[in-house]
Structure 1
Amino acid sequence: MLIPDIEAFEERAAIAEFDGGLSRAAAEDLAAKTQGFPSRDRYWQWLADYVLARKLP
């Protein structure tokens, strides 16, 4: 089971965006992939599901 590290995600995305010159979407895709998610959409969906269910999926 993947459990996202939000702080690491945000930091990696910010670095990729500002230092790497990527768009925010591309930077978030990269950050999500480093945590084992196929895309940023899947990453954010996992978090949304967790918040709504108040338990790990």
Structure 2
Amino acid sequence: MSASRIPDIEAFEERAAIAEYDGGLNRKQAEDLAARAQGFVSADKYWEWLADYVVNRGLS
């Protein structure tokens, strides 16, 4: 994931919800799928990147 591009949280949540409810995936699988759609290897890495961004660069 490029550090210059902030992940789209709304798109992540929407994709994960659709994958979970319509696709039959469990929540972890659905979030991993949504994270990969934004260039991350997993949801854990997605949330890690966002947490680091908020703490170190701030969100206004």
Q: How does 1:8-19 map to 2 (within 5 A)?
A: 8-19=11-22
The answer for unaligned runs of 5 or more in structure 2 is none
Query: What stretches of structure 1 move > 6 A for 4+ residues in a row?
Result: none
The answer for unaligned runs of 5 or more in structure 1 is none
TM-score normalised by L of structure 1: 0.90
Percent pairwise identity: 73
TM-score normalised by L of structure 2: 0.86
Q: 2:34 and 2:17 mapped to 1: Cα distance?
A: 9
Matched, 1:30 2:36: no
Aligned-residue offset at 1:32:
0.2
Aligned residues: 55
Aligned with 1:44 (options 36, 42, 47): 47
Amino acid across the alignment from 1:43: Y
Alignment RMSD: 1.0
